[in-house]
Amino acid sequence: MLIIGEKLNSAIPSVRQIINDKNAAAVQDLARRQAEAGADYLDLNTAHCDEVADMEWLVRTVQEVTDVPLCIDSTAGEAIKKGLETVKGDKSKVIINSISMEKKRLEEVLPLVLEYQCPVIGLTVDDNGIPKTAEERIKITEELIETLSRKNYDLSNLYIDPLVLPLAVNHTNAVMFFQCLRDIKRLFKVKTVSGLSNISFNMPKRKLINRYFLTICMASGMDAAILDPLDGKIMTAVTTTDLLLGNDRFGKNFLKAYRKDLLAD
Ligand code: THG
């Protein structure tokens, strides 16, 4: 499974602080450590700072120390645009996080997706908000696919995020999410992604819930996850579940992690 490191997000108070302080060394330390821990992508979010200007600074600062591709996380077309313009190297590797069927978002972000032909995360949300049922989310997925394929976008670059809602709001939210993942993989030739941690909102032992949730998501067909790669226990869950799901030929990655003493039991 593809791992998108979540740490460089201005929603985390300590990260907001180092971005506001333009503390390049602290940002670069988080970038380097996530990459070393196995992140395939680094998510960058500056929504709680000076969004556009700080995205430019963050992209530049991170790329000074790592070649790991970036996931530009913003609801604002302007911040995504600035991020893409600033990226050095192959811009078609950047994941745009995200597009949706919300009219304004679609108008702002679709032209960027088409210009750079890069992977994009599509949220199952429209101007009526996040749907309560799996059926409505599948319908929005269909609309996103229709919109993108009409523009000849390569659908194998589309990651659908069916959006996790807290269990504390409805005790069936996790099973509804698994249903979404299975339906999307069965019906369409696209990938799936999730931010996971919303599932445990307002509950104790959040990391425990997130970890078990992750394994069922993987078994339900999740291709990528936005998570904290510095959390050894969640990374162990990913490595072990990939082994069990037949995604790790000859157990190569599992044994490598074992030899490096990275598996937490
Ligand atoms: N889908 C998409 N994008 C997203 C989300 C999603 N981007 C934002 C968010 N959800 C995913 N990113 C984060 C980033 C940080 C945290 C949670 C989600 C977070 N971090 C704490 C920290 O680092 O201090 C705790 C981490 C921990 O130890 O578990 O809370 O759903 N497309």
pLDDT in tens, 94-153: 999 999 999 999 999 999 999 999 999 999 999 999 999 999 999 999 999 999 999 999
Q: Give the pLDDT confidence score for residue 29 in this predicted structure.
A: 98
Using pLDDT thresholds of 50, 70 and 90, give the confidence band for residue 213.
very high
Three-state secondary structure call for residue 102? coil
Region 99-230: CATH code: 3.20.20.20
Distances (CA, A) of 147 to 27, 128, 138, 155: 37, 18, 14, 11
Question: Among residues 190, 256, 243, 253, which one has the least CA distance to residue 221?
Answer: 190
> Which residue ranges make up each domain of the chain?
1-89, 99-230
Q: Give the pLDDT confidence score for residue 5 in this predicted structure.
A: 98
Q: How far apart are CA 237 and CA 228, in angstroms?
A: 12
Please indicate, yes or no, whether the overall pTM of this predicted structure exceeds 0.85.
yes
- Residue closest via CA to ligand 1's atom 31 equals 195
| Ligand 1 midpoint to CA 169 (Å) | 19
- Residue closest via CA to ligand 1's atom 4 equals 195
| Ligand 1 midpoint to CA 11 (Å) | 8
Distances (CA, A) of 172 to 7, 32, 90, 175, 257: 28, 38, 41, 5, 34
Q: Give the pLDDT confidence score for residue 10 in this predicted structure.
A: 98
Averaged pLDDT, 14-23? 98
